[in-house]
Amino acid sequence: MSQGTSKALKVCIIGISGKLGRYMVRHCLDRGYEVVGVCREKSVEKLDEFKDSITIFPGMTNERAIIEKAVKGCDGVLTVLAPWGIQQYSSGTAQAVLDYAPSEARLIFSCGWHITKDGRDQYSKGFQRMLRFFTWLARVFRFAEVDDQVEACRRIFASPRKWTVVRGSDLEEGPSEGLPVWSQHIGDPILNSNRTRRVDFALFMVDALSNDKLIHEAPAIVSCQSESAKKHHGDQISDQAV
Ligand SMILES: NC(=O)c1ccc[n+]([C@@H]2O[C@H](COP(=O)([O-])OP(=O)(O)OC[C@H]3O[C@@H](n4cnc5c(N)ncnc54)[C@H](OP(=O)(O)O)[C@@H]3O)[C@@H](O)[C@H]2O)c1
Tens-digit pLDDT profile for residues 94-145: 999 999 999 999 999 999 999 999 999 999 999 999 999 999 999 999 999 9
Strands 196-197 and 220-222: unpaired
Cα(238) to centroid(ligand 1), Å: 34
Q: Rounding to the nearest 10 degrees, give the CA dihedral for residues 17, 82, 167, 215.
A: -80
Residue 25 has pLDDT above 90, yes or no: yes
- Residue 83 in contact with ligand 1 by CB distance below 6 A: no
CATH numeric code, 10-241: 3.40.50.720
Query: In which band, very low, low, confident or very high, does the pLDDT at 2 lie, cut at 50, 70 and 90?
Result: low
Nearest CA to ligand 1 atom 48: 112
Locate the ligand 1 atom nearest the alpha carbon of residue 143 and give its number: 31
- Residue 44 in contact with ligand 1 by CB distance below 6 A: no
What's the rounded mean pLDDT across residues 86-91? 93
Q: Which DSSP helix (H) or strand (E) runs through 147? A: helix 146-157
Q: How far apart are CA 221 and CA 70, in angstroms?
A: 28
Residue 3 has pLDDT above 70, yes or no: no
- Residue 47 in contact with ligand 1 by CB distance below 6 A: no
Instruction: Give the residue, out of 39, 41, 84, with the most ligand 1 atoms within 8 A of its beta carbon, to mutate for a pocket test.
Output: 84
Cβ-based neighbour number of residue 135 at 10 Å: 17
Q: Which DSSP helix (H) or strand (E) runs through 39? A: strand 34-39
Name, in order, each residue with C-beta under 8 angstroms of 95's C-beta and a sequence gap of 6 or more.
152, 155
Helix (H/G/I), strand (E/B), else coil: 166: strand
Cα(240) to centroid(ligand 1), Å: 31
197 residue type, one letter:
R
Query: In which band, very low, low, confident or very high, does the pLDDT at 146 lie, cut at 50, 70 and 90?
Result: very high
What are the CA-CA distances from residue 29 to residues 69, 118, 149 (Å)?
21, 34, 28
Q: How far apart are CA 39 and CA 148, in angstroms?
A: 19
Mean pLDDT of the chain: 94
> What letters, b where the CB count within 10 A reaches 16 and e where it falls short, cover 71-99?
beebbbbbbbbbbeeeebbbbbbbbbbbe
More confident residue, 238 or 164: 164
Q: How far apart are CA 128 and CA 214, in angstroms?
A: 27
- Give the tens place of pLDDT for each residue, 193-209: 999 999 999 999 999 99
Residue 1 has pLDDT above 90, yes or no: no
Nearest CA to ligand 1 atom 13: 20
Residue 241 has pLDDT above 50, yes or no: no
- Residue 18 in contact with ligand 1 by CB distance below 6 A: yes
Cα(18) to centroid(ligand 1), Å: 6
Cα(130) to centroid(ligand 1), Å: 18
- Residue 236 in contact with ligand 1 by CB distance below 6 A: no
- Give the tens place of pLDDT for each residue, 164-191: 999 999 999 999 999 999 999 999 999 9
Number of H helices, E strands in the chain: 7, 10
What's the rounded mean pLDDT across residues 54-69? 98
- Residue 40 in contact with ligand 1 by CB distance below 6 A: yes
Name the region of 163 (left: φ>0; alpha: ψ -120 to 50; beta: rest): beta
- Sign, CA dihedral 20-26-28-33, equals positive
What's the rounded mean pLDDT across residues 22-39? 98
Q: Which stretch of 51-55, 86-90, 197-201 has the lowest confidence by average pLDDT?
A: 86-90
Cα(1) to centroid(ligand 1), Å: 25
Q: How far apart are CA 155 and CA 199, in angstroms?
A: 27
213 residue type, one letter:
K
Report pLDDT for 176.
98
The domain limits of the chain are 10-241
Cα(217) to centroid(ligand 1), Å: 22
Residue 242 has pLDDT above 90, yes or no: no
Helical residues (DSSP H) of 3-145, grouped into ranges: 19-30, 64-70, 89-100, 125-140
